[in-house]
């Protein structure tokens, strides 16, 4: 296990505000050899590091030193090549912790940083988000918070790439291939993939029903059989394909700055399978094509839903984001064929030995 840890901690000058996070970081530093970076000027030579981003937030959800780090990362997109990261956000209110984590994970990933599944721990002001974990662990909420951070850091340091000689890729979409720019982009990408089997499943209207929030015991009953009360294509085709794949690729056209209804329904229905089979060894990729703007918003939704929550690992540069409005206009994007080939090569580096 790699025991060298770099902690990027955009420090807030209010000691009272950072007291809880300081206590948690002191426990981490006592267990591992750590380099602490608290100001942007200390940021250099990060390639290949294991990084814990630790972000203290005040009641406003704004940390000015963090904003300086974020600005630098967005203008130095090769900063984190070969890095693996996790994120700890500690807030004073019930708001902003997850949105900050999502934004940071997207930006760091764009700079080349990979993330293990569920590589985010948030502490809200009240720590009520730890009520269930505390009950399950017979701890108080602060104890459950500390335990979650300890697990996350251990997982970060133990993380290893998992390429195979031959990889299985599952592609989920709800697109009409004849008119969809997103599907056309995928066709460009997949022609450069080799040493892999590709399964494509359509989730178009009429084939998928959204989760209706069954009682926990009912959901667990069906999950024991890798099934779901509502059955259909999700149980018959998608569950077996997810179970056997090494990577999941989502085709995500962006119409309203949100994942499409059918992709969202798939994620919701995935809970029944997830209760029995977690996905720490599976990678998630996404192709996001926006008619106007906002591709990063959709990519962040994929990150929070499938990596932060459903434990898929996030490989570096996990998403390809493009803008194309009119039918087939993706073909007119500058250098699109080369971009598609580069994205395919990135997938191959992650998935195939």
With beta carbons less than 8 A apart as the criterion, state whether 72 and 39 touch: no
**DSSP 8-class letter at 93:** S
pLDDT (tens digit, 0 to 9) for every residue of the chain, 353 residues total?
A: 667 999 999 987 766 678 999 999 999 999 999 999 999 999 988 999 999 999 999 999 999 999 999 999 999 999 999 999 999 999 999 999 999 999 999 999 999 999 999 999 999 999 999 999 999 999 999 999 999 999 999 999 999 999 999 999 999 998 877 789 999 999 999 999 999 999 999 997 655 655 555 554 544 434 454 555 455 678 889 999 999 999 999 999 998 999 999 999 999 999 889 988 899 999 999 999 999 999 999 999 999 999 999 999 999 999 999 999 999 999 999 999 999 999 999 999 999 99
According to the CATH classification, is domain 4-158 in 3.40.50.1010? no
CATH number for 167-351: choose from 1.10.8.60, 3.40.50.360, 3.40.50.10490, 1.10.260.40. 3.40.50.360
Q: Locate tokens 């030193």: which residue?
A: 65
Question: Phi first, then psi: what are they for 33, rounded to 5°?
Answer: -80, 120
Angle at which helices 181-190 and 336-351 cross, to 10°:
60
CA–CA separation, 65 and 70 (whole Å): 9
Q: What is the pLDDT of residue 217?
A: 52
Q: What is the pLDDT of residue 308?
A: 98
Q: What is the pLDDT of residue 234?
A: 82
Task: Determine which helix (DSSP H) or strand (DSSP E) holds 81, and give its type and residue range.
Answer: none
Q: What is the pLDDT of residue 176?
A: 78
Q: What is the pLDDT of residue 229?
A: 46
Q: What is the pLDDT of residue 162?
A: 96
Q: What is the pLDDT of residue 208?
A: 63
Q: What is the pLDDT of residue 220?
A: 47
Structure tokens at 169: 């890729």
With beta carbons less than 8 A apart as the criterion, state whether 28 and 34 touch: yes
**For the chain, domain boundaries:** 4-158, 167-351
Structure tokens at 191: 């022609």
Exposure string (b/e) for 63-97, b if CB count within 10 Å is 16 or more? bebbeebbeebeeeeebbeebbbbbbbbbbeeebb
Q: What is the pLDDT of residue 218?
A: 47
Q: What is the pLDDT of residue 3?
A: 75
Examine domains 4-158 and 167-351 and report if their fold is the same: yes
CA distances from 226 to 179, 210, 236, 274, 275 (A): 34, 17, 10, 9, 9
pTM of the model: 0.93
């Amino acid at each position: 296990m790699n025991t060298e840890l770099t902690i990027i901690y955009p420090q807030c000058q209010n000691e009272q505000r950072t007291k809880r996070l300081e206590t948690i970081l002191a426990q981490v530093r006592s267990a591992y050899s750590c380099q602490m970076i608290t100001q942007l000027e200390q940021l250099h030579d990060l390639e290949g590091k294991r990084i814990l981003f630790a972000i203290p937030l005040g009641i406003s959800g704004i940390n000015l030193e963090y904003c300086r780090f974020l600005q630098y990362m967005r203008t130095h997109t090769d900063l984190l090549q070969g890095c693996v990261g996790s994120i700890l956000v500690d807030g004073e209110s019930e708001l902003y912790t997850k949105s900050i984590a999502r934004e940071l994970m997207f930006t760091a990933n764009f700079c080349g940083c990979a993330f293990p599944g569920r590589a985010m721990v948030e502490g809200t002001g009240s720590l009520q988000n730890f009520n269930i974990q505390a009950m399950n662990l017979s701890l108080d909420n602060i104890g459950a918070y500390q335990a979650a951070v300890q697990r996350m850091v251990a997982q970060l340091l133990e993380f290893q790439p998992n390429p195979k000689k031959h990889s299985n890729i599952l592609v989920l979409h709800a697109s009409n291939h004849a008119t969809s720019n997103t599907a056309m982009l995928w066709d460009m990408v997949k022609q450069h993939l080799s040493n892999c089997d590709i399964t494509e499943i359509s989730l178009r209207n009429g084939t998928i029903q959204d989760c209706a929030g069954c009682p926990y015991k009912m959901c667990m009953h069906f999950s024991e059989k890798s099934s779901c009360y509502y059955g259909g294509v999700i149980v018959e085709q998608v569950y077996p394909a997810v179970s056997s794949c090494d990577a999941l690729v989502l085709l995500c056209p962006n119409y309203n700055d949100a994942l499409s209804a059918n992709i969202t329904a798939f994620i919701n229905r995935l809970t029944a399978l997830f209760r029995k089979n977690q996905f720490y060894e599976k990678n998630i990729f996404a192709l996001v094509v926006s008619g106007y703007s906002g591709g990063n918003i959709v990519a962040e939704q994929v990150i929070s839903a499938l990596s932060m929550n459903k434990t898929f690992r996030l490989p570096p540069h996990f998403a390809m984001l493009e803008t194309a409005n009119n039918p087939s206009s993706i073909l007119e994007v500058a250098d699109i064929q080369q971009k598609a080939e580069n994205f395919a090569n990135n997938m191959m580096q992650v998935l195939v030995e």
